[in-house]
Amino acid sequence: MELQEKVPVPIFTEVDKDVFLREIYPERRPAVLRGVCLGACLEKWTVEYLGRKGGDREVKIHVSTVPQMDFLHKNFVYKTLPFKEFVKRASEKKHTDFFLCEDESYYLRSLGEDVRKEPADLSKQFPDLAEDFHIPQFFEPVQFFSSVFRISSCGLQLWTHYDVMDNLLAQAKRYECVLEPGDLLFIPALWFHNTLALQFGVGVNVFWRHLPAASYDRKDPYGNKDPAAATRALQALERALHTLDELPADYRDFYGRRMIQRIQKRTYCDNVSSTTTQDATLPSS
């Protein structure tokens, strides 16, 4: 198998809103933003501080016997722990108290109060910690969708996925970067990506709407469902494929290729593409 070419993610310093909107955002490619003011979280968010602020509030977490969590095969279980106990365990490599095994891995992805309706919001789920974190104002307030608090064990790797906020072209290369404390990684919508925690990791994801609000599923608190028009198109494609099943194999092949050509002709955009980003995070926000 041909090895993937690794492409470094460009690093930008001294980025303000004007620079972001003028030089970075229009390119629709990943970028590391270094030196952006994020508040006191960089100094304050230690294991002890987080445990003290989070206290006994119960949180739902992912627990796995291996550090590579796989959403497709569900190689993890959901458990509930007091926040301070979760932070303690997530910062350990070996556990005296555990669910599955002494070296199990932990992952927290914060949820809204009503998990089926409300997106995650750091200021609502963890208001004391939200005071330490400054959300960069790179987008209009009306575009804000969610701020997701994440904590992971050392070595934890999440499954590869894409987000519909902020076409799929398979490349032989991938973009890769290591985030230092205080770094931001801009991930445009539709770019496949995953993360690997090199150390005990604490981070916040801020999502905002790149498309008009009406383009998204209003009942999606996670912000990961395809835009409504894309969902309808995929459903129509599935119905068309079922119709082709009525034909012999050679006819299905012929008309399937014609469909592919028409789709490419109507939808392919020369200057917009998506690829894969793998970003490894250190303990930072």
Q: Which two tokens stand for residue 258?
A: 């014609």
CB contact set of 130 (below 8 Å; sequence gap of 6+): 122, 123, 147
Eight-class DSSP state of 91:
T
**Overall average pLDDT of the 196-213 stretch:** 91
Instruction: Give the DSSP H or E segment for 150.
Output: strand 144-152
Q: Which two tokens stand for residue 45?
A: 């968010």
pTM, entire model: 0.82
The per-residue pLDDT for range 248-272, each reduced to its tens digit, is 999 999 999 999 999 999 998 765 5
Mean of pLDDT over the chain: 88
**Domains of the chain listed by start with CATH number:** 7-208 (2.60.120.650), 228-267 (no CATH)
pLDDT of residue 162: 84
CB contact set of 80 (below 8 Å; sequence gap of 6+): 58, 59, 60, 61
pLDDT exceeds 60 at position 285: no
HSE (side-chain half, CA atoms, 13 Å) at 131: 5
CB 167 within 8 A of CB 274: yes
